[in-house]
Amino acid sequence: MKSETSKKSLKSFKRFGIFAALPLAVFALVLIVPFLRGIFLTFTNWDGFEFDSFVGLDNYVLSVQDEAFWSAMTMTFGYVIASLILVNLVGFGLALLVTIPMRAANVYRTFFFVPNLIGGVILGLIWQFIFGEALPSISKAFSLPIFNDNWLLSPTTAFWAMVIVTVWQMGGYMMIIYVTGLMSIEKDVLEAAIIDGASALRTLLSIKIPLMASAFTISMFLTIRNSFMAYDLNLALTGGGPYRTTELISLHVFKEAFGFGNFATGQSQAVMMFLVIAAAALTQVVLSKRAEVQR
């Protein structure tokens, strides 16, 4: 019996080696090793090519003392919160809309999902034209003062312009997740609610939303991650302007390293950004999972 058990264990180990060893090696080589090396370089005077001394926590001290870093972090938190709320509200609203029995429902789903397929840089250039040329022209033609000026030239409106474009891009993707959650609800449960005389609003609040809590967990996690890591849209739409007032943390780290040549400081800020994103994402997942259990 022991020999048979050992043979089975050996076969399982060989299978693991054949099918999993190579992907794990590639994963470690491409992600784990560069990540650990990046952390190591934050304790040196790395200039982008080499280092000749260790500086301890000096790079982290400089990062903490950098006002532009905290300004970008504050802007990022505001952007993440606004995107988290609006993207999921729009995504859930669209999911409710396209799950209503109607003709061409799949066409509408495709139409709402298409913006997610457009790259961030192209998206930024398209909306630069919309905010800079199209909307002001429409505003003048129809006497709509809200769009008289280019939104990208004012810090406040430029921030909301980024949020609008983010919602327009990500709303359709979250819609697909919510559609899956809505379709997974048993029809018997909904029919029982109708028989009991529950209104559409009561059915939504007391049955549909609690039963698709996992869809909310996934959607909020993806929104937080994508919003914290937003770079290409920020670069193409505003470039951090005007006067670096809409500079999100990813763009700030890039400029710190490649714009100003402070590679070691930029790397330390990237590590700090990673810790903040990881903490925010884990907190959201834990709270959402607790809510799922309570329900």
Which domains does the chain carry? 61-294 (1.10.3720.10)
Task: Give CA–CA dist 237/239, Å, rounded.
Answer: 6
pLDDT of residue 142: 82
Q: Give pLDDT tens digits for 115-127.
A: 888 887 888 889 9
More confident residue, 120 or 33: 33
pLDDT of residue 101: 82
Q: How many degrees, rounded to 5, is the angle at CA 75 between CA 73 and CA 76?
A: 60
pLDDT of residue 28: 86
In this predicted structure, the answer to whether residue 1 has a pLDDT above a threshold of 70 is no
pLDDT of residue 82: 96
Taking residues 261-290, report their average pLDDT: 88
The per-residue DSSP string of 38-90 comes to HHHHTTBT--SS----B-TTHHHHHHHH-HHHHHHHHHHHHHHHHHHHHHHHH
Q: Give pLDDT tens digits for 178-207.
A: 999 888 888 888 888 888 888 888 888 888
Highest mean pLDDT among 3-17, 158-172, 189-203: 158-172
pLDDT of residue 56: 87
Task: Give CA–CA dist 2/17, Å, rounded.
Answer: 22
H or E element at residue 144: none
pLDDT of residue 265: 92
The proportion of the chain whose per-residue pLDDT surpasses 70, expressed as a percent, equals: 94
pLDDT of residue 251: 93
In this predicted structure, the answer to whether residue 5 has a pLDDT above a threshold of 70 is no
pLDDT of residue 253: 92
In this predicted structure, the answer to whether residue 275 has a pLDDT above a threshold of 70 is yes
In this predicted structure, the answer to whether residue 9 has a pLDDT above a threshold of 80 is no
pLDDT of residue 192: 86
| Cis? peptide before 136, omega within 30° of 0 | no
Instruction: Specify which residues 44 forms β-bridges with.
Output: 54
Task: Indicate the average pLDDT of the chain.
Answer: 86
In this predicted structure, the answer to whether residue 62 has a pLDDT above a threshold of 60 is yes
In this predicted structure, the answer to whether residue 3 has a pLDDT above a threshold of 70 is no
Taking residues 103-121, report their average pLDDT: 85
Instruction: Specify which residues 54 forms β-bridges with.
Output: 44
Instruction: Give Cβ neighbours of residue 228 (< 8 Å, ≥ 6 apart).
Output: 76, 80, 249, 250, 273, 276, 277, 280
Task: Give CA–CA dist 95/20, Å, rounded.
Answer: 37
| Residue reference for tokens 């529950």 | 198
Taking residues 29-34, report their average pLDDT: 88
pTM for the full predicted model = 0.87
In this predicted structure, the answer to whether residue 6 has a pLDDT above a threshold of 70 is no
pLDDT of residue 281: 86
Show the 3-state SS of 218-265: HHHHHHHHHHHCCCHHHHHHCCCCCCCCCCCHHHHHHHHHHHCCCHHH
Task: Give CA–CA dist 127/161, Å, rounded.
Answer: 9
The proportion of the chain whose per-residue pLDDT surpasses 90, expressed as a percent, equals: 36
Task: Give CA–CA dist 292/215, Å, rounded.
Answer: 10
Round the CA-based radius of gyration of the chain to a whole number and report it. Answer: 24
